[in-house]
């Protein structure tokens, strides 16, 4: 694994238990080591703008961004809004991954240009299933826009 390929999936999630469950699910397809976790909206933006800890990272956008809505400091909505307003970033596919089934939230995020909205199922099997499908689709099946991190070709 090189620095080049790190961070094809940016997971923005403040709850470490959810992070663990998500990584567990992704691990089944060996996608876990391509994930960068940002525990709040600010760090997510730092990552995207190569700021702070991420100043040195490779100049490429993630293939997909899994975004929780309820986040400390900068909320998921705010992150979404900034990305979609930025010419460089707006092509990044964003999947909202949240506990909320509120219509209001769905409507607001779609309004901001989100690519998918997934409600985290309570049932673990369903949860794992959902995450796996997401990871495989966005990080493997889907061709990301140019300038994004490419899938690692098997050596």
Partner 1 sequence: MNPSGINANGAVVRASAVSLRLAQLRGYLVAVLNVAIALGASLLLERFHFRPASGQFLIFAVAISAWYGKRGPALLSLILSLVCMDYFFMEPRYTFSIARVDLPYFIIFAAVDVLVVWFSAVRRRVEADLRHTRDKLKVEVEERSSLLDLTHDSIFVRDMNSVITYWNKGAEDFYGWTRQDAVGKPCFDLLHTEFPEPSEELLAELLKTDRWEGELKQTNAQGLRVIVASRWSLRRDDQNQPVAILETSNDITARKRREEEIQALNQELAKQLRLLDQTHDSIMFRDMNGRITYWNRGAKELYGWNAEEAIGKASHVLLKTIFPAPLQEIDAELLRTGVWDGELRHTKSDGTEVVVASRWSLARDEKTQPIVMETSNDITERRRREDEVRKLNQELTNRAAQLDSSNRELEAFAYSVSHDLRAPLRHMAGFTELLQKSAAASLNEKSQRYLTIIMEAATRMGSLIDDLLAFSRISRAETHRSIVDLDQLVKEVVAEVRQDAKGRNIAWQIDPLPACYGDRAMLRLVLTNLVGNAIKFTRTRSHAEIEIGCTKQDGDPVLFVRDNGVGFDMKYADKLFGVFQRLHPQESFEGTGIGLATVQRIIHRHGGRTWAEGKVDGGATFYVSLPTMKEAK
Instruction: Choose the stretch contacting partner 1; rule: CB under 8 A; options: 30-38, 54-62, 78-86, 98-106.
Output: 98-106
Cα angle: 91, vertex 94, 95; to 5 degrees:
155
Please give the residues from 105 up to 144 whose contact with partner 1 meets the rule CB under 8 A.
Answer: 120-125, 127
C-alpha torsion sign, points 72, 76, 82, 83:
positive
Residue from 3, 17, 56, 153 touching partner 1 (CB under 8 A): that is: 17
> Contacting partner 1 (CB under 8 A), which of 5, 6, 19, 21?
21
CB of 142 to partner 1, least distance (A): 26
Among 67, 35, 65, 61, which residue's Cα sits nearest to residue 48?
A: 61
Contact pick of 5, 6, 15, 46 for partner 1 (by CB under 8 A): 15
Task: Return d(Cα 154, Cα 50) in angstroms, integer.
Answer: 27
Instruction: Report the SS3 class of residue 66.
Output: strand
Q: Which residues bind partner 1 (CB under 8 A)?
A: 15, 17-18, 21, 24, 69-70, 98-103, 120-125, 127
């Amino acid at each position: 694994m090189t620095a080049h390929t790190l961070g094809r999936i940016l997971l923005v999630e403040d709850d470490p238990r959810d992070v663990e469950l998500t990584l567990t699910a992704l691990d089944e397809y060996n996608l876990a080591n391509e994930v960068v976790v940002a525990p709040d909206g600010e760090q997510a933006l730092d990552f995207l703008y190569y700021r702070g800890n991420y100043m040195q990272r490779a100049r490429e956008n993630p293939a997909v961004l899994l975004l929780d809505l309820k986040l400390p400091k900068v909320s998921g909505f705010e992150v979404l809004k900034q990305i979609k307003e930025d010419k460089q970033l707006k092509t990044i596919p964003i999947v909202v991954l949240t506990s909320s089934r509120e219509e209001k939230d769905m409507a607001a995020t779609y309004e901001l240009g989100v690519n998918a909205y997934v409600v985290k199922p309570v049932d673990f099997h369903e949860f794992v299933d959902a995450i796996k499908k997401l990871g495989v689709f966005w990080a493997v099946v889907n061709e990301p826009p140019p300038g994004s991190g490419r899938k690692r070709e098997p050596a």
